[in-house]
Amino acid sequence: METSSQDKPMMTGDRTIPPEGARYITIYIMGQAYEIPETLTILKALEFAGFQYKRGCGCRGGICGACGTFYRKEGDHTLFTGLACQTVAEDGMILAQLPFFPANRADHAGVDMDLSPDEQINTLYPEIFRCVGCGTCTRTCPMDIDVMGYIAHFKRGDVARGAKTSFDCIMCGLCVSRCPANISQMNVAMAGRRIYAAQMMPRSEATKSRADQVREGRYEPALAELAQMSKEELKELYVGREREPDLSKPGEWMPADTTNL
């Protein structure tokens, strides 16, 4: 296949091959102008421009939080934020990647576990009371999380609500980098979710009883039987297994063979 001088190999193994007549736009990386085909994400645009992402990017799917980006647009005073793997590059973007950003991370090991959940948060991160309610964190968050809101929940002692409100945090650090009160929101939220999960969340009786069965060795004979099988026999067993129909409601379906339930 014929390639043009505009073709560039990408780090993921795919290639950006601009279609015939593709429109090129100008973006600025570290102050330097680059021509890239439109419709690329910022991450792919950076790679098209010649930068190789061996570190500082991860999932490319908006989940890992490694690709936080700041940008301005020519003629606009606003400082925008986004994830490089999810934001489409626009003509005139002036880009800067957020490298690792130092965030205060308190040592949970030293906290008295007899304290109530909200007292634990207050002991670990007393700086949350310095929040001035500016809302910059909420406006910065690429996941549209009400960051100021979850900090307010923790301040009020509502750890459960703080944990739930912050659940979608991907730890990108963009909010931390902009907080005038030097709060490390993402680590406050992580501590809140851990405390909630360990000390407040209702326990599932079904999970507990299944874990007890595993500990008591209920599945050891079945596992030993599987370990004796050849690869072909295992494949046959796997392919022929009973499968829950798609979209069946909880409790609606049971396999015919309940030996291992």
Give the 3-state secondary structure of the chain. CCCCCCCEECCCCCEECCCCCCCEEEEEECCEEEEEECCCEHHHHHHHCCCCCCCCCCCCCCCCCCCEEEEEECCCCCCEEEECCCCECCCCEEEEECCCCCCCCCCHHHCCCCCCHHHHHHHHCHHHHHCCCCCHHHHHCCCCCCHHHHHHHHHHCCHHHHHHHCCCCCCCCHHHHHCCCCCCHHHHHHHHHHHHHHHHCCCCHHHHHHHHHHHCCCCHHHHHHHHHCCHHHHHHHHHCCCCCCCCCCCCCCCCCCCCCC
Among 40, 45, 121, 131, binds ligand SF4 (CB under 6 A): 131
**Which stretch, 4-12, 16-24, 62-70, 156-164, contacts ligand FES (CB under 6 A)?**
62-70
If binding is defined by CB under 6 A, does position 60 make contact with ligand FES?
yes
Q: Considering only residues 186-205, where is the footprint of ligand SF4 by CB under 6 A?
A: 186
If binding is defined by CB under 6 A, does position 64 make contact with ligand FES?
yes
Q: Which is nearer to ligand SF4, 53 or 125 (CB)?
A: 125
Q: Select the binding partner of residue 132 from ligand SF4, ligand FES, none (C-beta < 5 to 8 A, by kind).
A: ligand SF4
Among 25, 29, 89, 174, binds ligand SF4 (CB under 6 A): 174
Q: Which is nearer to ligand FES, 58 or 126 (CB)?
A: 58
Q: Which is nearer to ligand FES, 36 or 121 (CB)?
A: 36
Q: Select the binding partner of residue 163 from ligand SF4, ligand FES, none (C-beta < 5 to 8 A, by kind).
A: none
